[in-house]
């Protein structure tokens, strides 16, 4: 019994590492994932909010699908033990308190997933007003997570 | 025996209440984020306009709006500390508070213009600096807000203190522009201290300068002088404001 606990920890740790790689790699991948989501969010903003005359259903739907794909990719695997310290593309901005606030963060991450999936759904319909509202909800979920677990510069 | 005199002119009062309302609105929209961040930006630009206007009005407004009549000079402060200061506009302590508040709002607007939210919003001057610096200013923007908040709280405490301890209502003059002062005091003052010359020409002139500055900062300059490093600008923002019309296989 006593020997099994460290073994279990070791096994989980190896499994996580196998899925997500060492600390710096996890940080690098998650920075990339969010940057890629941001690029797509900005395309939607450009065509739906800022310059509606340039709206193109396919571009926006493709962008929304990309965001949903990021959200559904299991980003949680990139938040392993120790990833609050380290350099990916640059110094990570994950707050050390993240590990105490995990439950709250998971809740927000789920909101983000639902919002992103819904955005992909409405983007496919081409209803610009719905897209606009849903785009706002996705943005809010980005922000609430940044407020909770991301260090302010 | 008290007499009623005119103290704050209409543009000054409008400035004050519009500033108060828009700063509160800017705070709320920033905290909610999402679609409202665009409104946060618009409110910020509007506040920039209010500030520019106030700065001009501090030189060409009516008597008590002018910085020269209330600037907390050394002699005014010493007189005030000795209890010898006399006047009807801002006393030296009030003047320090005014300057602190205006400066804090200016810092807020100044950093905001270069800020970004890493989601889908950039201040209008974002393209003039690199992303790292913008991130730094964004961080500052979030922290310096608490300094502004502190000054606002002191401002409100002072108003309550005057109302209940010194039995002076400061809010009413800021609404009506009129203030009651002892006749003896009023009689010692020059006429321009007790009446308001509204000055439509000065007002319109201020508005013209203000709108020019606001137009320039919020996009006019970028239009007239496109950013030198087109490639960099294109990478940073133009690609996102003019997204490709349709996805291709690459
Ligand atoms: C579509 C919504 C989102 C957008 C557009 C977005 C955007 C970004 C961007 C651009 C970065 C900077 C990446 C870099 O430093 O290169 C970032 C970092 C980060 N985001 Fe988000 N994000 C979104 C949703 C979320 C959600 C839902 C969470 C919480 C689960 C989150 C947590 C973080 C964290 C912790 C970082 C710092 C990563 C690190 O430096 O290691 N983001 N985000
Ligand atoms: C007096 C005027 C302003 C006030 C009182 C103000 C206040 C604030 C506050 C309190 C925040 C932080 C929200 C948070 O921590 O969750 C914020 C964020 C922000 N503000 Fe302002 N702001 C002002 C002007 C501006 C201007 C002029 C711009 C640009 C046009 C701007 C752009 C931004 C951006 C991009 C953020 C998001 C930062 C982030 O997500 O980390 N602000 N503002």
Q: Euclidean distance between the first and final Cα of chain B, in Å?
A: 84
Q: Report yes or no: A124 and B110 within 8 Å, Cβ to Cβ.
A: no
Shortest-distance ligand to the CA of residue B26:
2
**Per-residue tokens: B152:** 């606002």
The superfamily in CATH containing domain B2-222 is Transmembrane di-heme cytochromes, Chain C (1.20.950.20)
Do residues B245 and B130 make contact, with C-beta atoms less than 8 angstroms apart?
Answer: no
How many Å lie between the centroid of ligand 2 and the Cα of residue A142? 16
Rounded-to-integer distance, Cα B50 and Cα B120, Å: 26
Q: Could you list the pLDDT tens digit for every one of the 250 residues in chain B?
A: 788 888 899 999 999 999 999 999 999 999 988 889 999 999 999 999 999 999 999 999 988 999 998 999 998 999 988 888 888 888 899 999 999 999 999 999 999 999 999 998 999 999 999 999 999 999 999 999 999 999 999 999 999 999 999 888 999 999 999 888 888 888 777 777 777 776 889 999 999 999 999 999 998 887 888 766 544 444 444 444 556 666 655 6
Instruction: Tell me what pLDDT residue A118 has.
Output: 97
pLDDT band of residue A14 (cuts 50, 70, 90) is very low
What does R_g of chain A's alpha carbons equal in angstroms?
18
Token pair, residue B107, equals: 């810092």
Domains of chain A with CATH codes: 22-149 (1.20.120.10)
Token pair, residue B59, equals 């030189």
Between CA B217 and CA B23 the distance in angstroms is 19
pLDDT value at position A146?
Answer: 94
Q: Kindly report the nearest CA distance between residue A11 and chain B, in angstroms.
A: 36
**CA nearest B163: which of B152, B173, B151, B150?**
B173
For residue range B63-74, list pLDDT tens digits in order.
899 999 899 999
Kindly report, residue by residue over B148-184, the tens digit of the pLDDT: 999 999 999 999 999 999 888 999 999 999 888 888 8
The three-state DSSP-derived secondary structure of B10-61 is HHHHHHHHHHHHHHHHHHHHHHHCHHHHHHHHHHHHHHHHHHHHHHHHHHHC
Calculate how far, in angstroms, residue A31's C-alpha sits from the geometric centre of ligand 1. 7
The Cα B161–Cα B201 span in angstroms is: 38
Q: pLDDT tens, A27-80?
A: 999 999 999 999 999 999 999 999 999 999 999 999 999 999 999 999 999 999
Does residue A131 surpass a pLDDT of 90? yes
Asked if B250 has any chain A CB less than 8 Å from its own CB, the reply is: no
């Amino acid at each position: 019994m006593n020997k099994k606990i460290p073994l279990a920890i070791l096994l989980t740790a190896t499994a996580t590492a196998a899925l997500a790689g060492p600390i710096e790699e996890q940080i690098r991948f998650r920075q990339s994932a969010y940057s890629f989501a941001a690029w797509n969010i900005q395309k939607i903003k450009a065509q739906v909010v800022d310059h509606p005359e340039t709206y193109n259903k396919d571009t926006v739907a493709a962008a929304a699908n990309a965001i949903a794909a990021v959200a559904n990719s299991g980003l949680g695997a990139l938040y392993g033990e120790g990833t609050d310290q380290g350099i990916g593309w640059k110094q990570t901005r994950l707050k050390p308190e993240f590990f105490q606030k995990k439950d709250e963060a998971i809740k927000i991450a789920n909101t983000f997933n639902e919002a992103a999936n819904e955005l992909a759904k409405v983007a496919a319909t081409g209803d610009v007003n719905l897209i606009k509202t849903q785009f706002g909800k996705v943005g809010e979920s980005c922000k609430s997570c940044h407020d909770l677990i991301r260090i302010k510069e | 025996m008290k007499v009623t005199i005119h103290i704050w002119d209409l543009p000054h009062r409008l400035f004050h209440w519009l500033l108060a309302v828009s700063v509160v609105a800017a705070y709320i929209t920033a905290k909610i984020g999402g679609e409202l961040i665009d409104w946060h930006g618009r409110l910020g630009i509007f506040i920039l306009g209010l500030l520019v206007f106030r700065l001009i009005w501090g030189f060409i407004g009516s008597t008590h709006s002018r910085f020269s009549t209330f600037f907390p000079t050394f002699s005014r402060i010493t007189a005030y500390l000795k209890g010898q200061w006399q006047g009807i506009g801002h006393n030296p302590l009030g003047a320090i508070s005014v300057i602190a508040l205006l400066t804090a709002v200016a810092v807020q607007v100044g950093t905001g213009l270069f800020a970004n939210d890493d989601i889908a919003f950039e201040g209008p001057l974002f393209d003039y600096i690199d992303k790292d610096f913008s991130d730094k200013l964004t961080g500052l923007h979030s922290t310096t807000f608490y300094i502004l908040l502190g000054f606002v709280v002191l401002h409100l405490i002072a108003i309550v203190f005057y109302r209940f301890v010194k039995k002076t209502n400061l809010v009413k003059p800021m609404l009506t522009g009129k203030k009651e002062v002892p006749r003896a005091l009023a009689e010692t003052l020059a006429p321009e201290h007790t009446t308001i010359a509204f000055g439509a020409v000065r007002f319109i002139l201020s508005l013209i300068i203000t709108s020019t500055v606001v137009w320039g900062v919020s996009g006019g300059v970028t239009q007239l002088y496109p950013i030198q490093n087109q490639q960099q600008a294109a990478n940073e923002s133009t690609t996102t404001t003019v997204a490709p019309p349709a996805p291709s296989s690459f």
